[in-house]
Amino acid sequence: MLRQKLRLFFSAFAVFLFFCQTQDPHHELHFTVIDVGQGLSQMARFNSLGLVWDMGSGQHMDEWFNVYNKAGKPFLQAIVISHRDTDHSGGLQFVDSTVDWSGIIVTSIYEDTSYIKSLCKRWNKKVIMRAVCEGDTLGYLPQTCIRCIWPPSKLNESLPLHSELINRYSLVFILNFRGNDVLITSDIDSSIALNIANLYKESLDCNILIFPHHGSAGSLNRVFLGYANPEFVIISCARNNPYNHPAESVLSFLRTMGVNLRITYLDKSIFFKSNGYYWEEY
């Protein structure tokens, strides 16, 4: 009888601790895909610290600043620019002193860092460039492991990269917050997605996947998606864009997967938070 009572007590105590932890906002990581139209921008925040991946084209900076301000103007430890295409880097032109930022830009070892740095036209403080590749980690947020898984440190391509190859070698990251994963894929195509799938296999398993290249048909790879096995898939693109993103083939396959699909032109900015046990959309 005593043993049974003790078992019930400790079970109840464990449940109590679980709910105490899950309701404590100081233990939460927030992740947002910002509606920047035909482009991409994502923000992760832990308490007062933030990290941004890409800045969109700059045509929808009102929404970017709106999300940043509502988040409490976190100190941006760095801004990651996955590659130089304007729909990912253009918003740097509008980052000014109202943004609490370290001045650090993280980009690929194959990128034109002088060009990316030149975009910071309104930033009147020092800009520090950091180049990364597969295997590097970003240690900017507490309790969070952010690992670069693409591009590799060596390529069989001539440098500087031809403009047609920039998307293929854009940065890809796995963000892990106490076991909860986000897969950030930038603009990789299907062949690169397959390469990554063959390299990482089940390690790609994630809760949230940012679909590559705004839902382009050329970025659909079924092996990659099978290993990723996401609960949520996010596509960032503008309504009636000239590229017909997202492709119907992408939407059809995602429907067969049974994922929770979100598209920024329909759902606007998309907000998640994790307590270390699961992601919650809000």
What is the total residue count of the chain? 282
Structure tokens at 7: 């078992």
Question: Which of 118, 119, 115 is closest to 61 using CA atoms?
Answer: 119
Question: Which of 215, 211, 256 is closest to 232 using CA atoms?
Answer: 211
Q: Tell me: the pLDDT tens digits for 20-63?
A: 344 556 789 999 999 999 999 999 999 999 999 999 999 999 99
- 10 — pLDDT class (breaks 50, 70, 90): very low
Q: Tell me: the pLDDT tens digits for 133-159?
A: 999 999 999 999 999 999 999 998 888
- Name the percent of the chain lying above pLDDT 70: 91
Q: Tell me: the pLDDT tens digits for 164-178?
A: 999 999 999 999 999
Question: Which of 24, 34, 27 is closest to 55 using CA atoms?
Answer: 34
Local structure of 184: helix, strand or coil: strand
Is the N-terminal amide bond of 160 cis, ω within 30° of 0? yes
Q: Tell me: the pLDDT tens digits for 206-265?
A: 999 999 999 999 999 999 999 999 999 999 999 999 999 999 999 999 999 999 999 999
Q: Counting beta carbons within 10 angstroms of the beta carbon of residue 177, is it exposed (0 to 12), middle (13 to 18) or buried (19 or more)?
A: buried
Which sequence spans correspond to the domains of the chain?
28-274
pLDDT at 9 over 50: no
* Assigned superfamily of 28-274: Ribonuclease Z/Hydroxyacylglutathione hydrolase-like (3.60.15.10)
